Structure 1
Amino acid sequence: MDTPILLTLIITLVAAALLISEKLRPDLVAVAVMVTLGLLGLVTPSETFAGFSGSAVMTILGISIISVALHQTGITHLLGRVMSRLSGGSDLRQILVTMLIAAALSLFMNNIAAVGVLLPAVMSLTRQSQTSPSRLMMPLAYGTILGGMATLLTTSNIIVSGALRDAGFQPFGLLDFMPIGGPIVILGIAYMLIFGRRMLPTALPDGAASRARQLRKELGRLYELDTNLCEVEVLPGSALAGKTISAGKWAARTGLNLTALVRQGQIIHSLHPGEIIRTGDHLIGNGCPPAEELSTLGLRQLDRPTQERAFTDQGTILGELVLSPHSNLIGRSLKEVSFREKYNLNVLSVWRESKPVQDKISDLPLRFGDALLVQGAASDLQLVRKDTNLILLEEDPDAVLKPGKQALAAVITLFTLGLASLGSLPVATVVMAGAVLLLLTGCLEMRDIYQSMEWKAIFLIAGMWPLSTAIRTTGLADLTVQTIFSAVGQASPLLVAAVMIFLAFILTQVMSGQVASLVLAPLALAAASQLNVDPRGMGMGVALACSLAFATPFGHPVNIMVMNSGGYRIRDYLRIGFPLTVLAYACILLGLWYFWGIS
């Protein structure tokens, strides 16, 4: 064994040990591996940093930008609501719906693109159903990987099919993988529903995803919004019916600080002063005026709410403001400064002297140090950042900032994914073009990208990329393959296929499936020729094995994409993904024996 091979082997083993032990952050280990390989001359300077311009990294970057646009325009919120209705709030059904949709999408598009589209939607589902993201992120990744095994449109499958064509054999068709890949999809989903979901973590992950989930609950609890909430019905003949909120002087005449209106079963949040109140409307607000006062105005207090008393929806969020030291609002009431009309925000409560104040807050003179809990559109809350009188302390990370761009973002995204699925242009190029188009059309802004990007995934993939290059160029991969085949000797074709599949699984964890397929495809065809078996069958075994990426986050970029959002550690992938790998491994061997006659 020469020096470059030995050094590459040592670096690979040390990196694996550090990643499994979790002594250091995975992205830090990846960057250290990249630098070490470059300093030792095991890869060229251009190869050292090639990962940052690699197709996988650029595809993830482009898809991440598209995902931010889908989030900003509210599309992911709508997808999350659809998935929520389909799942019915059940943990079992949520996993089933997530995996089925993910698998279906990956049949027709790149796996990374499928996860990029669904990840923010699934995150929205977890927030709506108050489910930990760790319950659904891994099923999302596994669903796309499983779905990709049932179609030709997966990178490793395409590579092996191309190797067959170059060798003079018939390449694979679009549905040739379905007889083996289809049962693997069913088996994989069944495993996750019966066994895998019992091993999924339940704790909330750290970071922005958890904060987005908890913010509304924290603010509502802190300001005691539910303790003084009242719902009244506008009766026929009411003196307030047919008038706007402003003209009816609701705050002054009823003492209610209105937060929502229920009309024909639909909730309207963030009421505008010009909203006309109709007979039969139900209004929700802070404060509980006496029944006699309500009766004289033609109103009736309801004992039970007709709707769940939420303070937010897709377009309405909560935020917390504090008066700046030199604010000209100090000493003046909300009514005096026409706060609702000026900022288009509704003040739900005031925090003063370590407790919330909710009664008649419109007439309350504001003091320095007061905090205001406000309700309104995300775009209006963003405008407060430019106001010198107020400081924005908290805002909902799940806010829909550009609802007017929803249709445009949907059209651009569908066109991008459709063009990428055709395969006529490089996926990374098409996806980045779609991302740039979303930026140019105002569906999101550059600052949104910098704030929302998962840089951990970018550095992790880019850092490990030169290691796969070194394994291939130093000869370590060839030496490993030759050693294993010399040990197998003149074994049965099925045993050789089993060894090839195992080797593909190992290489996929350190080199990615597409690189592993490049290394093993010619060896599989040569072995098939020597053993006098169908080369297409042996090639299919290797192609499918290059998708056995469940046991580590490094087997496929989609695992890394969901790692941070789900709060997973490497041991979570090993514990849940390894049994699934064994099941899929056995299913591939059974399929090669039954459909391709390899025995």
Structure 2
Amino acid sequence: MALPTLTTDVLVVFGLVGVAILFFVTDYVRPDVTALSVIVALVVLEPWTGVGAEQAFMGFANTATVTVAAMYMLSEGVHRTGVVRRLGAFITRIAQDSPSRMTQTTLVLAGGLAGVVNNTPVVAVLIPMVTDLADTYRISPSKLLLPLSYAAMLGGTLTLIGSSTILLASTISARLIDHPFSMFEFTHLGLLGLGVGIVYLSTIGQRLLPSRVAPSIDLIELFDLRTYVSRLYIRERSPLVGQTIVKATESLPINSDQQILEVVRDGDRYAAPGPDFVLEARDVIIVRADQETLRAAAPTLDLWQLPWMSVADRDRTVPAGIGTLVEVKVPNGSDLVGQAVGSLGARERYKATILAVQRNGEIIHEQFDDLVLERGDTLVFRTASGNVDVLRDTTNLILTAVAGSGKFEGTATGKVRANRAPVAVAIIAGVVLIAAFGLLSIAIAALGGVVAMIVTGVLEPDEAYEAISWNVIFLLAGMIPLGMALENSGGATWIAQLVAELAGLMPPVAVLLLFYVLAALLTNIILPNATVVLLIPIAIDVALAIGVNPFSFVLAVTFAASTSFLTPLGYQTNLMVFGPGGYEFSDFFRVGAPLQAILAVVTTLGIMLFWGL
């Protein structure tokens, strides 16, 4: 076997690829910084890489980069309308209390949708829904977002319009062997891969995935605290002005176990204020008491009962939320078991106030001072953010969730534009249809969708820009020129020639498997579309040379190039979940490599069974 010649250009580019992968895997520096360093190195080594300054920056104008940025914006627009929350509620009803059933349902939904529409907008729409579901089930979004991307990629192999890679492969196949793909020609093979992928991702994949991002828990919603915690604004003529906390408590219609939790003054928060704390005009007091009782008394005491959102008062904004909430459980063996809630001395011992107690699914908001604690009881404390460690460090309680007031800003009604939901859905549908029928590229269609959302009031311009994970954009833009260098230097061709030489020494099924593996590896470096353009002609030539069915080889390359699991760079949906999931570069290889190996065998055997060799 005559090995193809390794030129200096190829060796230099292979060296750059190796160094970049080393930095990505070790996480020595941030991935986006590594990608920017690659741009600099490519230009400095231009005589060998063939990448000048102009080419080096082409990654920022690449369709994949623009598409990812636009999809982040579209995703934010849909999320602002509350549409995904309704979809999440539907999945919750199906899954009930089972996180594994919820995971499987989500993956089936993503895979199914990606079979009938392009998988990129599917992921864009489902990212906020999956994040909300993770919060609801109290699991890390990292456990769901990467499987979402993988399931959408696998779903994209169900039909001709599932991904742009398959459409491109069909064009090449039609030109070279006069066999374009029909709409459902390989749906059975795609279903086989999707089924295997969902089983893997909901079982083994869950064990391999790290919990990079903690779930955000809305304890206010979970414990229905809006009904029992009120925010009162003290107006200038209120009789509470100049009174101490003790006197003010006597003036307010609250029971002995209810109290003033906090005073907000000029942006400063005074948690659990002492009995001698003197109230002033324009203070906001946060009180644990029945809202209806307080609402009736508020006019008499010249108080405003504030909604759960920011409220402008002259030249100042009253902040939303009620501070930091901490959820804890009483473990077996705790010294608190058998003690009454009122005897805990929460203010002195934990620098906190108890807002609610949950036992056997029942939430108790009032008159719980005499309640005797039992093992497994859940308590919600309100405290200052700096005091959370006091609760975390105690051996008598297990801290299970922390939620700061910033979490609850989103509960303001002005943040959710439910009335724009039909418009947002129509825009997303338009983007999908325009791209599916080839009227415009997916990048232009997505950008048009962003403009439409801004013009129609679904999304504000600032919200659109803030929705983009810019580190992901720079990562993608920096690595695209490396793929160009691999092609310019002849490195990609060298790899393909090496495989062609090895083909003469192997049985046909091994050659088919080899092309699948090669396409799966290359698509993570030079991107899917470039992989099919490079490898399909070579695969067809090799198939004809050894006397086997060339269409089977076309399918092997196409399916492998459409399922890039090894790095976040191989496909744009991977990049879209990279930031929200808090992933490291190595997470994709840890979870994706076993899946890729399984699918290499399953797809190869499936092609042999359905199309033969």
TM beyond 0.5: yes
- Work out the CA distance in 2 between the residues paired with 1:186 and 1:484: 30
Q: For 2:308, what is the secondary structure of its paired residue?
A: strand
Deviation string 1:143-186 (CA, Å, 9 cap, x unpaired) is 10111122222222222211111124121111112122111111
Aligned partner (choices 274, 281, 286) of residue 332 of structure 1 = 281
Matched, 1:27 2:36: no
Matched, 1:196 2:134: no
User: 2:172 maps to what in 1?
Assistant: 163
Closer, same or farther: CA 287–65 of 1 in aligned 2, 3 Å: farther
- Work out the CA distance in 2 between the residues paired with 1:109 and 1:517: 21
**Are 1:529 and 1:535, in contact at CA under 8 Å, matched by a contact in 2?**
yes
Aligned partner (choices 6, 15, 20) of residue 10 of structure 1 = 15
**Are 1:320 and 1:394, in contact at CA under 8 Å, matched by a contact in 2?**
no
**Are 2:99 and 2:137, in contact at CA under 8 Å, matched by a contact in 1?**
no
- Work out the CA distance in 2 between the residues paired with 1:453 and 1:113: 15
1:578 counterpart letter in structure 2: A
- Work out the CA distance in 2 between the residues paired with 1:142 and 1:19: 20
1:188 counterpart letter in structure 2: G
- Work out the CA distance in 2 between the residues paired with 1:109 and 1:573: 25
- Work out the CA distance in 2 between the residues paired with 1:111 and 1:228: 42
1:332 counterpart letter in structure 2: A
User: 2:132 maps to what in 1?
Assistant: 124
User: 1:178 maps to what in 2?
Assistant: 187
- Work out the CA distance in 1 between the residues paired with 2:485 and 2:313: 50
Q: Give the superposition deviation at 1:445.
A: 0.9
User: 1:396 maps to what in 2?
Assistant: 408
Q: Give the superposition deviation at 1:106.
A: 0.9
- Work out the CA distance in 1 between the residues paired with 2:212 and 2:55: 39
Q: Give the superposition deviation at 1:287.
A: 7.2
Matched, 1:580 2:595: yes
Q: Give the superposition deviation at 1:505.
A: 1.1
Matched, 1:505 2:526: no
- Work out the CA distance in 2 between the residues paired with 1:386 and 1:16: 56
Matched, 1:111 2:119: yes
Q: Give the superposition deviation at 1:4.
A: 2.3
User: 2:359 maps to what in 1?
Assistant: none
User: 1:496 maps to what in 2?
Assistant: 511
Q: Pairwise mapping of residues 436-475 of structure 1 onto structure 2 (< 5 A)?
A: 436-475=451-490
Matched, 1:102 2:117: no
Deviation string 1:267-324 (CA, Å, 9 cap, x unpaired) is xxxxxxxxxxxxxxxxxxx97659xxxxxxxxxxxxxxxxxxxxxxxxxxxx996535
Q: Pairwise mapping of residues 280-429 of structure 1 onto structure 2 (< 5 A)?
A: 289=255, 322-323=265-266, 331-332=280-281, 348-349=286-287, 375-376=307-308, 381=310, 384=312, 387-388=315-316, 390=318, 394=406, 396=408, 398-399=410-411, 400-429=415-444
Q: Give the superposition deviation at 1:360.
A: 7.8
- Work out the CA distance in 1 between the residues paired with 2:66 and 2:537: 28
Closer, same or farther: CA 289–475 of 1 in aligned 2, 3 Å: same
- Work out the CA distance in 2 between the residues paired with 1:539 and 1:81: 41
Aligned partner (choices 87, 101, 107) of residue 93 of structure 1 = 101
- Work out the CA distance in 1 between the residues paired with 2:120 and 2:151: 12
Aligned partner (choices 537, 542, 546) of residue 552 of structure 2 = 537
2:416 counterpart letter in structure 1: L
Deviation string 1:371-425 (CA, Å, 9 cap, x unpaired) is x996436xxx3x6398426456846364433233222222222222222222232
Aligned partner (choices 67, 75, 88) of residue 67 of structure 1 = 75
| Further displaced range: 130-139 or 13-22 | 130-139
Aligned partner (choices 28, 39, 45) of residue 44 of structure 2 = 39
- Work out the CA distance in 2 between the residues paired with 1:563 and 1:374: 39
**Are 2:212 and 2:583, in contact at CA under 8 Å, matched by a contact in 1?**
no
User: 1:311 maps to what in 2?
Assistant: none
Closer, same or farther: CA 391–478 of 1 in aligned 2, 3 Å: same
User: 1:559 maps to what in 2?
Assistant: 574
**Are 2:513 and 2:604, in contact at CA under 8 Å, matched by a contact in 1?**
yes
> What is the aligned-residue identity percentage?
27
Q: Pairwise mapping of residues 241-260 of structure 1 onto structure 2 (< 5 A)?
A: none
User: 2:384 maps to what in 1?
Assistant: none
- Work out the CA distance in 1 between the residues paired with 2:502 and 2:317: 77
- Work out the CA distance in 1 between the residues paired with 2:166 and 2:598: 20
User: 2:92 maps to what in 1?
Assistant: 84
**Are 2:295 and 2:305, in contact at CA under 8 Å, matched by a contact in 1?**
no
- Work out the CA distance in 1 between the residues paired with 2:486 and 2:208: 33
2:408 counterpart letter in structure 1: D
Q: For 2:287, what is the secondary structure of its paired residue?
A: strand
Closer, same or farther: CA 385–583 of 1 in aligned 2, 3 Å: farther
Deviation string 1:35-75 (CA, Å, 9 cap, x unpaired) is 21122223132221111111111111111111111112222
TM-score (norm 1): 0.73
- Work out the CA distance in 2 between the residues paired with 1:452 and 1:171: 39
Closer, same or farther: CA 220–428 of 1 in aligned 2, 3 Å: closer
**Are 2:9 and 2:489, in contact at CA under 8 Å, matched by a contact in 1?**
yes
**Are 1:333 and 1:362, in contact at CA under 8 Å, matched by a contact in 2?**
no
Closer, same or farther: CA 182–59 of 1 in aligned 2, 3 Å: same
Q: Pairwise mapping of residues 193-272 of structure 1 onto structure 2 (< 5 A)?
A: 193-202=202-211, 204-205=213-214, 213-214=216-217, 216-217=218-219, 229=228
Closer, same or farther: CA 107–373 of 1 in aligned 2, 3 Å: farther
Q: For 1:565, what is the secondary structure of its paired residue?
A: coil
- Work out the CA distance in 2 between the residues paired with 1:287 and 1:183: 65
Deviation string 1:207-229 (CA, Å, 9 cap, x unpaired) is xxx5xx24x43x799xx996994
Q: Give the superposition deviation at 1:198.
A: 2.3
- Work out the CA distance in 1 between the residues paired with 2:437 and 2:515: 30
Give the unaligned 5+ runs of structure 2: 1-5, 231-239, 241-251, 257-261, 269-278, 289-293, 321-404
1:323 counterpart letter in structure 2: D
**Are 1:98 and 1:139, in contact at CA under 8 Å, matched by a contact in 2?**
no
**Are 1:115 and 1:140, in contact at CA under 8 Å, matched by a contact in 2?**
yes
**Are 1:549 and 1:555, in contact at CA under 8 Å, matched by a contact in 2?**
yes
- Work out the CA distance in 1 between the residues paired with 2:20 and 2:588: 17
2:206 counterpart letter in structure 1: R
- Work out the CA distance in 1 between the residues paired with 2:263 and 2:581: 27
- Work out the CA distance in 2 between the residues paired with 1:160 and 1:545: 12
**Are 1:321 and 1:394, in contact at CA under 8 Å, matched by a contact in 2?**
no
1:144 counterpart letter in structure 2: A
Q: Give the superposition deviation at 1:488.
A: 3.6
Deviation string 1:23-44 (CA, Å, 9 cap, x unpaired) is 1111111111122112222313
Aligned partner (choices 147, 150, 157) of residue 142 of structure 1 = 150
Closer, same or farther: CA 541–397 of 1 in aligned 2, 3 Å: farther
RMSD of equivalent CA atoms:
3.4
TM-score (norm 2): 0.71
**Are 1:83 and 1:97, in contact at CA under 8 Å, matched by a contact in 2?**
yes
Deviation string 1:121-151 (CA, Å, 9 cap, x unpaired) is 1112222333321221122111101111222
Q: Give the superposition deviation at 1:527.
A: 1.1
Give the unaligned 5+ runs of structure 1: 232-251, 253-285, 291-318, 340-346, 351-356, 367-371
- Work out the CA distance in 2 between the residues paired with 1:116 and 1:193: 21
**Are 2:229 and 2:286, in contact at CA under 8 Å, matched by a contact in 1?**
no
Q: For 1:376, what is the secondary structure of its paired residue?
A: coil
